[in-house]
Amino acid sequence: MDAECLNYCLTKKENQQFEQDGFFIIKNALPPELVENLISAADRLLPQYRKKNGIAKHGTVNMLDFIGKDELFLELLDWPKTFPKVWGILGWNIQLYHSHMVITPPQSANEELPKKRLGWHQDSGRLNIELQGDPRPRVSLKVAFFLTDTSQPGCGNFSVVPGSHQSNKLKMPQEKTLDPENALTVCVPSGTAVFFDRRLWHSASPNYSNITRKVLFYGYSYRWLRPRDDMTVKHLIDQCNPIRQQLLGASTGGMGYTSPQEIDVPLKPWLREHLGIEAVAP
């Protein structure tokens, strides 16, 4: 793994913000050239995906399991400016359990939609029903890479309720068209990465701009959690280094998930070598 990672470890301020607000923002996480290449890769996949799933040209796309559809997407899996912050929060026993690409075209100028509340939710589906506790355990987080500019409201922005990860329920206004009073529209430029706790109440929002919003979501979890999507990556495993193989789900067997040895989690000895034993305990 690229030792440049060591220059971007989770800072105390980032960790405090993540614990307090449930998210933080890293601007200039991706260089412009890489952003353009990622957009091109996404654009190559879209026509076939739309045709296969019957999605109109101006319909929103939520493409699950995109990670194995182009080798370029692997670059973000352990990207130096973002991956160290993932292990800084979750530790070394981690995997990529989910990836999804969200494409939100501009709404038609003639399309008049009634005002309504955003689709506020926490991630992880049944986990939020079947796990006890309030708040429930973190278990996973996502890194959202914004490929297009959403630095102004109305661009299909990511919306959050800061601090809402600390409660299983989100208080809503009585008026059903209104969003929570402290809801925040996240306005970020192209190349930005947004980290957020799976428990954070969040939502997409309408795109009234003239730019198609494009975002790549990488979901990281503990290795014992079953993947959220199909994770069709076997064709890429052999060309990956050991740490990428770990992140893509490689293991010596069932016990390699519940009681992993270092062969199952090469990230652990890598961190010990570069950061010391205290960084990987227990």
Give how far Cα 170 sits from Cα of 29, 119, 166, 188, 250, Å. 31, 12, 10, 25, 37
- The whole-number pLDDT of residue 107 equals 86
Contact between 225 and 72 under an 8 Å Cβ cutoff? The reply is no
Pairing type for strands 213-222 and 140-146 reads antiparallel
Q: Could you tell me the domains of the chain?
A: 3-241 (2.60.120.620)
In whole angstroms, give the CA distance from residue 217 to residue 220. Answer: 10
Instruction: Give pLDDT, residue 57.
Output: 85
Task: Write the Ramachandran bin of 206: left for phi over 0, alpha for psi from -120 to 50, otherwise beta.
Answer: beta
User: What is the pLDDT, as a whole number, of residue 109?
Assistant: 55
Pairwise CA distance, residues 141 & 17, whole Å: 14
Strand partners, 215: 102, 146
**pLDDT of the residue at 239:** 93
pLDDT, mean of each 10-residue run, the chain (282 residues)? 93 98 98 98 96 92 96 97 97 97 84 81 94 96 98 96 97 94 97 98 94 97 95 94 96 91 95 83 69
Which candidate, 198, 199, 216, places its Cα nearest to that of 29?
A: 216
pLDDT at 131: 95
pLDDT the model gives residue 279: 65
List, as own/partner pairs, every contact residues 250-257 make where C-beta atoms lie below 8 angstroms and the sequence separation is at least 24, other chains included: 251/223, 257/223, 257/224
Three-state SS for 185?
strand
Give the per-residue pLDDT at 113: 67
